Amino acid sequence: MSPVNNNRIAHPVDNQVEFTQGVVKLKHFEAPVTSIHGVGSAMAGKLEKLGISTVGDLLYHLPRKYLDRSTVTPVSCMAENQEVTVVGKVCKVESRGTKTRKQILTVTIFDGTGYISGVWFNQDYHKEKMENGTEVSFSGKARFQYGNLQIVNPDYDVLGSVSMDQKNESIHTGRIIPVYASTAGLTSAGLRRVVTRGLDTTEGLVDPVPEAVRKKYRLMDLEEALREVHFPTDKKRLGRARYRVNFEEIFFMQVGLALKKKYRSLNVKGKRHRMPGKLVLDFIENLPFQLTESQRRAWAEISFDMVGIAQMNRLLQGEVGSGKTVVALMALLLSIENGFQGAIMSPTEVLAEQHFRKIKELLGDLPVSLKLVTSGTNSGADESISEGKVDLVIGTHALIQEKVRFADLGLAVIDEQQRFGLNQREDLVAKGEEPDVLHMSATPIPRTLAMTAYGDLDITTITDVPKGRKGVVTVVADEGQRQGAYAMVRKELQAGRQVFVICPMIEESGKLELRTVEEEARKLAGVFAGHKIGLLHGRMESGEKTGTMRSFERGEIEILISTVVVEVGIDVPNATVMIIENADRFGLAQLHQLRGRVGRGRERAVCVLFAEPETPEARARMEAIGRYNDGFSLAEADLQIRGEGALFGIRQSGYSDVRVSKLIHSSDLIKKARKAGFSLIDGEFEISQAEKRLVLWEANRRYGDTLDWLFKS
């Protein structure tokens, strides 16, 4: 039985008369934006491009940064190499080519005291946003060039024209003004006008966060917070307002997670396993290596869950190559020796086949029957699985097809769980009657994110790596270092070792991806004449991929040129070098996964990242991957790079699954919001039935998959 209820409960106004006026206002959050005065169908269409379709969407479309007019530097007061923010009106836009075929865009603005230009190279598209008369802000380092002040590649925002709205001029000038993510035909100034009208609908708004919670954590009331977060009175009140809105989002997420976790503990019994017996003990005794201390600790936590009454729902995370698969296999054997079946679902056929071969080797002569199920191996219903003749089934998404049926699934293991959607994970679990569930990930999760998105899971972490491994040296290189890198590769090849060369995936065209890999192969065939080169890419058939990987594992291929299809699960201890081309196109988690394909033997490995990063984020990623070898430090660095940043003058981005809170520097807030949400569900706050139902309705409004069973008493 799934703990998720996808049908939203009735609105509190249906049975909470005393909340009628306030709840109607909350319900108005779901009203279309066209209910706001002055927002017609044309404006609604523009807002929809920003993900705004309701009044609530609009009011929670928070500014991406703020511009404090009191800190703006007049052009007349600027000095060489000074970091500045300047606001002015565009008075000249010029685009010209150069002899080196570069296109230079120059946008000059006047702030009343002088002129300064923003300069971009080969980025002509910026001029579409900055016509003459448009008010913009430029931020960056001011420099004198040919007698003129300019900022190269400034961080800029289109603020709009003040003359467009004389009535509300105060929302654009003389204060801390919000700067929003905008879209074609809708400037930040236009959004400020719409938000102002939207805020007029919040008078008398009932706060969905219970009063007891607000008092304990000293939270600003919602109505005041929304006004201050959009149009702050001062920086101090802005800080309190953003804290309140961020707290609120995490709080309601935690309410949902706490409900799901409590539901499972009380209603989903899972499979009751006995203590580990002969099959598990024989497996451990016959392993060709000693378990690390982390592996033993992980096994203790997992086996404790499986022997317990409630369904296990645990995430097993750890470094690349830390031995998660062995621990998961011990759990599967525990389920098998208790008379159940086990399943492992992997995101790719290459990984599923790798698991199948590795597990078969590890099991040796133990009496365990295996079956591999992928789109390439399974064409119809398999009675051996449905009749219980197969103990352990290993496969891809093919496992969740209707024709795959289990006799009695006891443990479902989901490998690289972040690569699957929620529905896919639940479909595998639904193959059995409340089986235990073990999620696995080699992509370490920052602690702040673990407390939010994975807050309903118990988390086990393997921190050690097997003894004897010397690790990976990571070098971020440019074209000037290529010949030196190739000389190092020749030395490794002459010593009988193997090499990965990774090309970026071309999303727009599979043919283009194939051409990129083939071009790299032709180039390297000349550089490393006499050495066997193989190709692996997304356009290959399943059998071709398998054949190529096996040839590489056997040492028949010395240099494997591949796209990111080798990102997870490939285990070739003899591979000691990885070269990643255009590394700045990859995310940090992906680079760490790729790097983990080497250094799995007893020789020190080298990962060379060829990159020419052009953006601050890309440069920061390259610096981080060169500095950190462990995935947990890298995950925190990734959160720093992609997180909120300073609110005044620095662009922010973040994790898409948390709309308001960017999680960065929010560990204390998240801890408090998590404690508040779980404490509420555990009954530690004294709140009325009306408040309970309002909390539940709001959690459903935001996340749509919580439960109302706890609120029926």
pLDDT band per the 50, 70, 90 thresholds, residue 512: low
Task: Tell the residue number behind the tokens 């500014």, with chain if given.
Answer: 63
Q: pLDDT confidence of 27, banded at 50, 70, 90?
A: low
Confidence of residue 340 (pLDDT cuts 50, 70, 90): very high
Distance separating alpha carbons of residues 392 and 255, to the nearest angstrom:
36
pLDDT confidence band for 691 (50 / 70 / 90): confident
> 80 by DSSP, 3-state: which?
coil
Nearest CA to 117 out of 171, 61, 156, 163 is that of: 156
pLDDT tens digits, one per residue of 585-604: 888 888 888 888 888 878 88
Average pLDDT on 515-531 reads 86
Q: What mean pLDDT is predicted for residues 115-140?
A: 87
| Amino acid letter, residue 224 | E
Instruction: Give helix 222-230 / helix 188-199 axis angle, nearest 10°.
Output: 160
- What's the whole-number mean pLDDT along residues 481-497? 94
Q: What is the mean pLDDT of residues 393-397?
A: 93
**How far is residue 103's CA from residue 617's CA, in Å, rounded to a whole number?**
23
Summarize the confidence of residues 599-616 as an average pLDDT. Answer: 87
Which of 88-92, 98-102, 406-410, 645-649 is the least confident region?
A: 645-649
H or E element in which residue 23 lies: helix 20-27
Q: What is the pLDDT of residue 306?
A: 94
**For position 476, what pLDDT does the model report?**
94
Q: Calculate the alpha carbon distances from 181 to 38, 156, 164, 265, 480 in Å.
A: 20, 12, 19, 42, 39
Alpha carbons within 13 A on the beta-carbon side of 228: 19
Picking from 236-240, 440-444, 454-458, which range would have the lowest pLDDT averaged per residue? 454-458
Cα gap 39→33, rounded to integer Å: 7
In order of start, what are the domains of the chain with their CATH numbers?
Answer: 65-179 (2.40.50.140), 278-462 (3.40.50.300), 472-628 (3.40.50.300)
Mean pLDDT within 622-643: 81
**680, 259 Cβ separation under 8 angstroms:** no
Spatial CA neighbour of 562 closest among 357, 495, 490, 572: 572
In this predicted structure, the answer to whether residue 17 has a pLDDT above a threshold of 60 is no
pLDDT attached to residue 402: 86
pLDDT digits (tens, 9 = 90+) for 191-221: 888 999 999 887 777 889 999 999 999 999 9
Average pLDDT over residues 156-178: 58
Q: Which amino acid is at 287?
A: L
Average confidence (pLDDT) over 120-136? 86
Do residues 128 and 149 make contact, with C-beta atoms less than 8 angstroms apart? no
pLDDT tier at 299, thresholds 50, 70, 90: very high
| Closest to 676 (Cα-Cα) out of 79, 159, 257, 317 | 257
Q: Rounded CA gap, 246 and 658, in Å?
A: 10
pLDDT number for residue 321: 74
- Edge-to-edge strands of the sheet including 605-610? 472-477, 605-610, 575-580, 498-502, 559-562, 533-536
The most confident of the ranges 6-10, 66-70, 89-93, 419-423 is 89-93
What pLDDT does residue 41 have?
Answer: 92
Taking residues 449-467, what's their average pLDDT? Answer: 75
- What's the token pair of residue 646? 């300073």
Q: Of 201, 220, 181, 281, which Cα lies nearest the Cα of 30?
A: 201
Which of 254, 252, 250, 245 minimizes the C-alpha distance to 60?
245
- Spatial neighbors of 432 by CB under 8 A, at least 6 apart, are 341, 406, 408, 409, 410, 412
- What average pLDDT does the segment 16-44 reach? 70
Which tens digits make up the pLDDT trace of 644-667? 332 222 222 222 334 444 554 567
* CA 323 and chain centroid, separation: 24
**Pair 415, 607: CB distance under 8 Å:** no
pLDDT at 378: 61
Question: Is the separation of the CB atoms in 336 and 480 below 8 Å?
Answer: no
Q: What mean pLDDT comes out for the span 291-307?
A: 94
For the full predicted model, state whether its pTM sits above 0.75: no
Q: How many residues does the chain have?
A: 713
Q: Are 536 and 566 in contact (CB under 8 A)?
A: yes
Task: Please determine, for residue 258, whether its predicted confidence score (pLDDT) is greater than 60.
Answer: yes
CA-based nearest residue to 544, from 554, 531, 534: 534
Give the DSSP H or E segment for 378. Answer: none
In this predicted structure, the answer to whether residue 13 has a pLDDT above a threshold of 60 is: no
Q: What is the pLDDT of the chain when averaged over all its residues?
A: 81
